[in-house]
Structure 1
């Protein structure tokens, strides 16, 4: 039998969210941040089956997520990386800066090879792909609630390799999160002007990031950036990715 979770609205223009029921102040509180409504609803349902009287929140983009993260007290955040506008990495950065004790569990469509090491280095409490079983998602939530990291064996091995042999890591691992974000958008065929508009940065700033990317990765042009991104599965053309960057 599915337990229904108390869901708080996570939309900037919605009526003020209902205050938490005083009788449920000990209930687990989790905001689910993903731009796909079906995925959000499914995740809330999975968690509600395990955690009695869970208070759930839903957000479809970074702006909604950050607004509600500061508005309410939460126990753990479940966060997607690729969303319209600012990416999940941007949300993670702000949470780590202003609420360092709040665990953030990344749940992404991207494989571990693509992003796991990067998000864990950025302060995430764990990284899961959306292909994992619901039981593993629940196990991950329970673990990060204790203050521990949830790291799958395959990811732990990659982290060890990253520490032990930095020179053998893919060149994109040397990029900052913002540079990595720009790299992916260039690889998706976006112009400097389009990228600047999506990230709310000037054309000059994006051009500077592009130059840094080319220098750090010893590449010559956008074509080589795209080739590298495709070879390392950093971008996917399975579906449109408007206004996105990780």
Structure 2
């Protein structure tokens, strides 16, 4: 039996994951579900699963931050990222950060069991065709790669939210950082990307399919 923990702040998504696993597999079970990074770490201290299904955007600490916490304390537990964001936005960044796979929520019914089995049973990363295509595209990018590739994970999180129209105060609250810290990240990322204004950030994000009308 493959035991998994689901970490996502949307109850309906957690229910959807359990339903898919129940209907499509008799060898995978959800032993616990949590809604934030803190509860995830508490759950892992009580019982170690074979895999964690993790959302990228959660309250207080992002999925990428939670995954880094896991790597320090539970380095042998693989993480499968399950996100609403398209593969070309976060997949390669997540895999470089240590994720064993990346599945878009829109294809949860088709890929979830396959990805879990690949990671836990076959002991290899799950790379679907969209992630492979994005990986090939980034590898094939010249040395003067797109400016957003040079951003740190935190800078990219701030960039994505600013470009999607979120207020600085809301970004600070969601990422559990001060308003001044968000301003600092915004100043830094603008300098790295050689952009001057929020409008420039939004224009760039739209041009490269990096913005959402609503941030997850």
Q: Does 1:121 align with 2:96?
A: yes
TM superposition shift of 1:48: 2.6
**2:134 maps to what in 1?**
158
Q: Which has the larger radius of gyration?
A: 1
Contact 2:51 2:80 in 1 (8 A): yes
Query: Could you report, residue by residue, the CA deviation over 1:146-200 in whole angstroms, capped at 9, with x for unpaired residues?
Result: 3200001332232233234353543211100000111122223334444334333
Q: How does 1:1-246 map to 2 (within 5 A)?
A: 27-49=1-23, 50-52=25-27, 54-132=29-107, 134-145=109-120, 146-167=122-143, 169-237=145-213, 239=214, 241=215
Residues matched between the structures, number? 214
TM superposition shift of 1:229: 2.0
Distance 1:136 1:188, change over 3 A: closer
Q: Aligned to 1:132, what secondary structure does the other structure show? A: helix
Distance 1:166 1:100, change over 3 A: farther
**In structure 2, distance between residues paired with 1:32 and 1:152:** 21
**1:13 maps to what in 2?**
none
Taking structure 2 as the reference length, what is the TM-score of the superposition?
Answer: 0.88
TM superposition shift of 1:59: 1.4
**In structure 1, distance between residues paired with 2:119 and 2:91:** 16
Contact 2:162 2:201 in 1 (8 A): yes
Contact 1:114 1:232 in 2 (8 A): no
Q: Aligned to 2:143, what secondary structure does the other structure show? A: helix
**In structure 1, distance between residues paired with 2:173 and 2:15:** 31
Q: Aligned to 2:69, what secondary structure does the other structure show? A: helix
Distance 1:133 1:187, change over 3 A: closer
Bigger proportion of residues as helix: 2
Taking structure 1 as the reference length, what is the TM-score of the superposition?
Answer: 0.78
Contact 2:3 2:28 in 1 (8 A): no
More off after superposition, 227-236 vs 74-83: 227-236
More off after superposition, 124-133 vs 181-190: 181-190
Contact 2:60 2:176 in 1 (8 A): no
Distance 1:177 1:45, change over 3 A: same
Distance 1:138 1:227, change over 3 A: same
Distance 1:222 1:72, change over 3 A: same
Q: Aligned to 2:106, what secondary structure does the other structure show? A: coil
Runs of 4+ in 1 over 4 A off after TM superposition: none
